[in-house]
Amino acid sequence: MASSLKPPEVPLELHAINREKLLNSFRQHLTETSCPLHGFGGEEKNRYCTDHIELFRQESYFAYLFGVREPGFYGAIDIATGKSILFAPRLPSEYAVWLGEIKPLSYFQERYKVSTVYYTDEIVGVLYDQYKGSGKPLLFLLHGINTDSNIFSKPAEFEGIEKCKTELNMLHPVLSECRVLKSDLELAVIQFANDISSEAHVEVMRNTRVGMKEYQLESMFLHHTYMYGGCRHCSYTCICATGENSAVLHYGHAAAPNDRTFEEGDMALLDMGAEYHFYGSDITCSFPVNGKFTSDQKFIYNAVLEAHNAVINAMKPGVSWVDMHKLAEKIILESLKKGSAIVGNVEDMMVERLGAAFMPHGLGHFLGIDTHDPGGYSKGTERPKEPGLKSLRTSRELCEGMVITVEPGCYFIDALLVPAMENAKTSKFFNREVIGRFKDFGGVRIESDVLVTSNGSKNMTNVPRETWEIEAVMAGAPWPLNQKI
């Protein structure tokens, strides 16, 4: 099988609907009425001083509103009239020789379903023409902190901006909040990203052999999602961790570049997701590289799987994400206790936040145009301070239309376990002998992308999860298992 999927045509009304949502939301917050908003797309970047141009990927807020794949654009939405305006860069005639056809403005108008398109050097003039009031037109610019990176988005800059009044505080929270609840058109794209990524995970699993290098699994994933899904970008750098590396949560970057040769007896933890038309997926599968779980591997794997399933079953509107995190922790601790890795009262362990010694990261995060989609800490939502919980990328209550990852994990990380075993309050919980058996185990993470529905949740990811399903698929069975070949 090559693939059962093919890349869908995405209706660019998707972004018109996003704009409409912003308009409606913005109008509710406004006292003044006639004022355009303004967003700015990204630019291509050179690598250092060279003429090596990095492959451009649109800034996410701009992509949300306009869906523009080309660099150098600006965009505005007139709140009074609802008109949307794109500003395209005026390209030099040599562009046609080196970079391709210089498209007329009408091309962008039609493709991106906006009211009008001008050149970027016309911005101020157009804004004044649009603006019917007296004095300077007021622009709401995007400026606000990303609560995962702590970096502020850079407000748009252009020649003549000083001729306008600018407001920096309103757009970012309103627009971020719009991005939290996904529309049906957005969900369809996220579903495709999940479908092709799920299929690629299965393909990788099936082709994993002892003696391979971690990056070969990355290569197979990238190839499958691009070749058959048209996904040129990934949502994030692939994490292909085997053996001990699977305890490094964000393995795979340049200083730890998926370059280990894996061995008989290793577990693999593969966290990989493709992006399609800006929208991402974020999926983790964990499995033994030789295709057969040992009893220890099954023990840890099933602890995590039980947590994963329990959370998905408990999810529905109104449920607190902090509670879901604690639910996952509790189930993992109970399983570890059953397997005698830890001893004592699980409620006491919860009070001491013992779960964070095994799962230092948050249970999951919003997913959309960014892998860690914004809006996790909207105004009035506070970040917890306790170990484990402080790593949560949101502490909100679930609402219908949120897409959030469910990614419990259980890791054996010396940097966490050694201090916890020495700590007066937590040392009593550990069975050192059993813990010692897992010294080089690494870790297990199971991650699915889950939509909150009106009365529950829907798992958008479709990969083998039960140990016997994984073993069957790795032995060559089709996926789904009951499928005819």
State the residues that interact with Mn ion by CB under 5 A: 282, 405
Nearer to a copy of itself, 195 or 244 (CB): 244
Nearer to Mn ion, 78 or 373 (CB): 373
Q: Footprint of a copy of itself on this chain (CB under 8 A)?
A: 42, 44, 46-60, 69-71, 93, 96-101, 145-146, 148-149, 151-154, 213, 215-216, 218-220, 222-223, 226-227, 230, 232, 236-237, 245, 248-251, 253-257, 259, 360, 370-372, 413-416
Among Mn ion, a copy of itself, none, partner that 27 touches (CB below 5 to 8 angstroms by kind):
none
| CA dist., res. 379 & res. 322, Å (int) | 17
User: Taking the complex as a whole, how short is the minimal distance between the CB of residue 153 and a copy of itself, in angstroms?
Assistant: 4
User: What is the distance in angstroms between the CA of the first residue and the CA of the last residue of the chain?
Assistant: 9
Extract the tokens encoding 339. Answer: 């397997």
User: Taking the complex as a whole, how short is the minimal distance between the CB of residue 302 and a copy of itself, in angstroms?
Assistant: 24
Q: What are phi and psi of 192, to 5 degrees?
A: -65, -45
Residue 178 near residue 22, CB atoms below 8 Å: yes
Nearer to a copy of itself, 251 or 321 (CB): 251
Residue nearest to Mn ion (CB): 282
User: Taking the complex as a whole, how short is the minimal distance between the CB of residue 102 and a copy of itself, in angstroms?
Assistant: 9
Cα-trace Rg, the chain: 25
Helix (H/G/I), strand (E/B), else coil: 184: helix
Among a copy of itself, Mn ion, none, partner that 246 touches (CB below 5 to 8 angstroms by kind):
none
Nearer to Mn ion, 65 or 398 (CB): 398
| CA dist., res. 95 & res. 101, Å (int) | 7
SS (H, E, C) 94-127: CHHHHCCCCCCHHHHHHHHCCCEEEEHHHHHHHH
Among Mn ion, a copy of itself, none, partner that 424 touches (CB below 5 to 8 angstroms by kind):
none
Nearer to a copy of itself, 86 or 413 (CB): 413
Nearer to a copy of itself, 319 or 332 (CB): 332
User: Taking the complex as a whole, how short is the minimal distance between the CB of residue 99 and a copy of itself, in angstroms?
Assistant: 5
Q: DSSP letter for 372, please.
A: S
User: Taking the complex as a whole, how short is the minimal distance between the CB of residue 361 and Mn ion, in angstroms?
Assistant: 9
Helix (H/G/I), strand (E/B), else coil: 140: strand
Residue 444 near residue 304, CB atoms below 8 Å: yes
Residues 6+ apart with CB under 8 A from 92: none
Strand partners, 76: 38, 85
Say which residue the tokens 């023990």 belong to: 299
Among a copy of itself, Mn ion, none, partner that 100 touches (CB below 5 to 8 angstroms by kind):
a copy of itself
Residue 311 near residue 327, CB atoms below 8 Å: yes
Residue 332 near residue 325, CB atoms below 8 Å: no
Nearer to Mn ion, 175 or 363 (CB): 363
Say which residue the tokens 């009008």 belong to: 116
Among a copy of itself, Mn ion, none, partner that 455 touches (CB below 5 to 8 angstroms by kind):
none
Extract the tokens encoding 468. Answer: 């016997």
Helices 295-314 & 467-474, crossing angle to 10 degrees?
Answer: 120
User: Taking the complex as a whole, how short is the minimal distance between the CB of residue 166 and a copy of itself, in angstroms?
Assistant: 18
Among a copy of itself, Mn ion, none, partner that 254 touches (CB below 5 to 8 angstroms by kind):
a copy of itself
Nearer to Mn ion, 156 or 404 (CB): 404
Nearer to a copy of itself, 22 or 212 (CB): 212
Burial environment of residue 94 by CB neighbours within 10 A (0 to 12, 13 to 18, 19 or more): exposed
Among Mn ion, a copy of itself, none, partner that 405 touches (CB below 5 to 8 angstroms by kind):
Mn ion
User: Taking the complex as a whole, how short is the minimal distance between the CB of residue 474 and Mn ion, in angstroms?
Assistant: 23
Among Mn ion, a copy of itself, none, partner that 301 touches (CB below 5 to 8 angstroms by kind):
none
Nearer to a copy of itself, 49 or 424 (CB): 49
Among Mn ion, a copy of itself, none, partner that 282 touches (CB below 5 to 8 angstroms by kind):
Mn ion
User: Taking the complex as a whole, how short is the minimal distance between the CB of residue 18 and Mn ion, in angstroms?
Assistant: 23
User: Taking the complex as a whole, how short is the minimal distance between the CB of residue 78 and a copy of itself, in angstroms?
Assistant: 25
340 conformational bin, left if phi > 0, alpha if psi -120 to 50, beta if neither:
left
User: Taking the complex as a whole, how short is the minimal distance between the CB of residue 340 and Mn ion, in angstroms?
Assistant: 30
| CA dist., res. 347 & res. 353, Å (int) | 10
